[in-house]
Amino acid sequence: MSNPLTSSPPEPLQEEFFLTDAALLRRWFPWLHIPSSLRMAFDPRKIALAMLALVLLSLPNLLRSWSLEEKAPVHLDRPFPWERGYLYQDVPVPQPHADQILADPWSAIRMAVSQGPQTFTPLTQVLQQGQQLIESKFHWKESSIHLIELLWTWFVWAVVGTILCRLTALDFMGRDVGWGEAWRYCRKRVVSAFASPLLPMIGIAAFWLPCVFAGWVSRMPGLGEPLIAGCWFFLWLCGAVLALLLMGLTFCWPLMIATVGVEGTDAFDGLSRSYNYLFSRPWYVVWMSCVILFIGGCTLFGVRWLAGQAEYLTLMSFGSGASPSTLNTFQTVNPVDPVFTHNLLQFSRGIITLAVNAFAHSFFWVAATIMFLLLRKSVDATPLDQLTEDRQSTLGELPIVGMAAAERREQEATPRTGE
């Protein structure tokens, strides 16, 4: 008689896992992962990369100011990134004191929420440069300058944005990677990130040039204007297609960078995925954008308020030991004697302002990466913690398809005998 203890195989040990309430909420409402972007946006590495990108983006403004300062006083349309007013709809206003916030918290909340669009500065900057290129009259010199500035913006974010998206994706999945590894990963894919928005530009040019040509035809005396008036409906169709292409390009451009940074694919995949995600889940994109605007505005308001309080407390503490004239030198914002001291002070304050503006850009790219991961899960049913190389390493070899796959399924389904 066999021993019952040895005749039956031992049951595998089972361990029960219980999800917390927060984990269950994130499973039911995946967009609740968006608040985690705050922690990742405060990463010093991401802020340093964003500061580098802002300095590179300011080069066209610097070249324009240096080339024209000898001819006439230069009035730049856009402030430098180390100045207030650089971000989109950023109107420099005094920050409220703590007692004012406590006395009227709703006013502070409204002020904080109103700063949400400032976190979308990379998006609005590309949109404004594109509008400036299309709305201005076609001249080879001016149009070429506008096009070069737009391409420079795309190139800077193709490099820095891809690295930021890669760091964010790995950080979101609980993995850590150094600067060198992130750069080695992204430098091979910079061309794809840069070429992704260039592909729809071909279609934009195809519908923009007929309108430009129609403008030249309208200069024909007597016949030009009636001819264009008769063909106006077809020109209007070109304008409608232009509007759709520009809207899609503007909102899909960050997703293109995120696609290349996360998946490491080519330019065509970045273009197709971004447009597919946007037009497949438009209301989901709108809802996540509203959440990002709210969180980003409140956080940016808090960062600026803390920076202002730090400046105020520093001046008050410094004034306790400094002379009144020295305190006035450090409090004023106008050039005073000694000029060298004032320039050093403005440089230090410019670094602080640059860091605050860089945080807004860091938050934008972190939020764009998380939005891409959420859209990928919603459309493609891809887990949030899975990368392309993970799927490739899991598969190992190419999948078996066709008759070979059918034979393997039959072998696995056939019950074993003789046991």
pLDDT digits (tens, 9 = 90+) for 85-125: 788 877 777 777 777 788 888 888 888 888 888 899 898 88
In whole angstroms, give the CA distance from residue 177 to residue 160. Answer: 16
Q: Give me the count of residues in the chain.
A: 419
Residue among 220, 156, 223, 161 at smallest CA distance from 186:
161
In whole angstroms, give the CA distance from residue 289 to residue 169. Answer: 18
Mean pLDDT across 24-30: 80
Rounded to the nearest angstrom, the gap between the alpha carbon of residue 250 and the centroid of all alpha carbons in its chain is: 11
* Confidence class for position 261, pLDDT limits 50, 70, 90: confident
In this prediction, residue 395 carries a pLDDT of: 45
User: What mean pLDDT value characterizes the chain?
Assistant: 79
pLDDT digits (tens, 9 = 90+) for 238-258: 888 888 888 888 888 899 999
End-to-end Cα separation, the chain, in angstroms:
19
pLDDT digits (tens, 9 = 90+) for 36-92: 888 999 989 999 999 999 999 988 887 777 765 544 444 455 678 888 778 887 777
% pLDDT > 70, the chain: 81
In this prediction, residue 223 carries a pLDDT of: 78
pLDDT digits (tens, 9 = 90+) for 122-152: 988 888 887 777 777 666 677 777 788 888 9
Read out DSSP for 235-259?
A: HHHHHHHHHHHHHHHHHHHHHHHHH
Residue 204, Cβ neighbours under 10 Å: how many?
A: 17
Residues 6+ apart with CB under 8 A from 81: 54, 55, 57, 58, 354, 357, 358
Domain layout of the chain by residue ranges = 46-378
Would you call the peptide bond into 338 cis, given omega within 30 degrees of 0 as the criterion?
Answer: yes
In whole angstroms, give the CA distance from residue 255 to residue 285. Answer: 11
In whole angstroms, give the CA distance from residue 176 to residue 40. Answer: 12
pLDDT digits (tens, 9 = 90+) for 156-211: 999 999 999 999 988 888 887 777 788 888 888 888 888 888 888 888 888 888 88
Given a cut of 60, whether residue 406 has pLDDT beyond it is no
More confident residue, 317 or 133: 317
Residues 6+ apart with CB under 8 A from 103: none
* Confidence class for position 413, pLDDT limits 50, 70, 90: low
Residues 6+ apart with CB under 8 A from 136: 142, 143, 146
**Which helix (H) or strand (E) segment is 378 a member of?**
helix 339-380
